[in-house]
Structure 1
Amino acid sequence: MRRLFWLSVGAGAGVYATHRVKRRVERFARTWSPEGVAARAVTAGHGAGARLRHFAHDVRTEMEAREVELREAIEIDQAPPEPSEVRRRRVLKARIIDDDKDGH
């Protein structure tokens, strides 16, 4: 009686394992069939297009914010100063150093 029990448990486990393996193999074959690959490519293409549009929107938004910061930094939108307000700057002469004098 005990042997019959274990024989039926083994047979049941074998049938169950065979069924599970068969389902996995069929799913794998369906996934890598030409139709499955085409369906995944289409799905990925739609997702990539949406992500690309979202990225482009983020870039435009940040670009506009950075442009405003730069314009404020260099005061480009303000009127030019009056000639009386412009300071005169003095240009200093550059000093030329010969290569043989610095010890090399």
Structure 2
Amino acid sequence: MFRRTFWFTAGAAAGVWATTKVHRKLKQLTPESLAAQAANKAIDAGHKVREFAVDVKAGMVRREAELGEALGLEAPADPALPAPRRLAAIEYTEQPRTVYSAHPQNHHPRHYDPHNRNEDH
């Protein structure tokens, strides 16, 4: 009698364990779960790419400093020489022009932007 009770209990426990495993696996394969897993992997990949970019930038700064030292760009300037000239950035101060269409039915003004490279202006 004790044997039958033991095997019945062991079988029931194995059945519960297997059922639980199958339900967990089915939950992992639902579309919502797959989408969440894909989103998590994409976020992880984004973090890795960002860390790589930060490492590359730090390496660039370090190498630029090494090159500056090697070429003497960081050395103090000789007071007998004139100071190096630096060009100021040119600011675009012109206001956009108002352009009127040549067609009489289109009398609404358009702003002309000389930096716009679209073909339709």
Q: Which residue, out of 15, 28, 42, partners 1:31? A: 28
TM-score, normalization by structure 1: 0.65
1:66 aligns with 2:32: no
Q: Which residue, out of 2, 16, 20, partners 1:19? A: 16
Deviations, residues 53-91 of structure 1 (Å, cap 9, x unaligned): 222111101111011112212334558xxxxxxxxxxxx
Q: Which runs of 5+ in 1 are unaligned?
A: 80-104
Q: Which residue, out of 9, 12, 21, partners 2:6? A: 9
1:71 alignment partner AA: G
Please give the alpha-carbon distance, in whole angstroms, between the structure 2 residues aligned to 1:54 and 1:78: 33
1:66 alignment partner AA: R
TM-score, normalization by structure 2: 0.56
Please give the alpha-carbon distance, in whole angstroms, between the structure 2 residues aligned to 1:78 and 1:39: 55
RMSD over equivalenced CA pairs, Å: 2.1
Please give the alpha-carbon distance, in whole angstroms, between the structure 2 residues aligned to 1:67 and 1:20: 61
* Structure showing greater relative contact order (alpha-carbon pairs closer than 8 Å, 6 or more residues apart): 2
Name the structure with the higher strand share.
2
Indicate the structure (1 or 2) with the bigger Cα radius of gyration. Answer: 1
Q: Which runs of 5+ in 2 are unaligned?
A: 77-121
1:47 equivalent in structure 2: 44
1:26 alignment partner AA: H
